[in-house]
Amino acid sequence: MNKEQLVERVADKTGATKKDALEIVNSALDLIAGELKRGGKVTLVGFGTFLVRKRKAREGRNPQTGAKIRIPAKRVPAFTAGKELKAAVK
């Protein structure tokens, strides 16, 4: 499912217009991204938790030349599925 399909399903399920559903979906995604940008986490009980993890700097290799390269530390978004989501997928 892509974003357009998600918007269509939200509109169908809620009775909202596609324009309103798009605004709702975009707002929810923007709020989640904003919280992660600030280093926080978003927990949706039963669904899961969006959070930021820190990756340490490490040494890697250029796959074309085999030369060693330094990969800098960075923050990456992560998602941990909740109990109900895991059960639904099982």
pLDDT, tens digit, 9 for 90 and up, residues 31-90:
999 999 999 999 999 999 999 999 999 999 999 999 999 999 999 999 999 999 999 998
Q: Which amino acid makes up residue 32? A: I
Residue 37 buriedness (CB in 10 A; 0-12 / 13-18 / 19+): exposed
CATH class of 41-90: few secondary structures
pTM of the model: 0.81
Task: Name the residue ranges covered by the structural domains of the chain.
Answer: 1-38, 41-90
Six token digits for residue 39: 């280093």
In the numeric block, the tokens 């909202």 are attached to 16
Cβ-based burial of 21 (10 A; exposed 0-12, middle 13-18, buried ≥19): buried
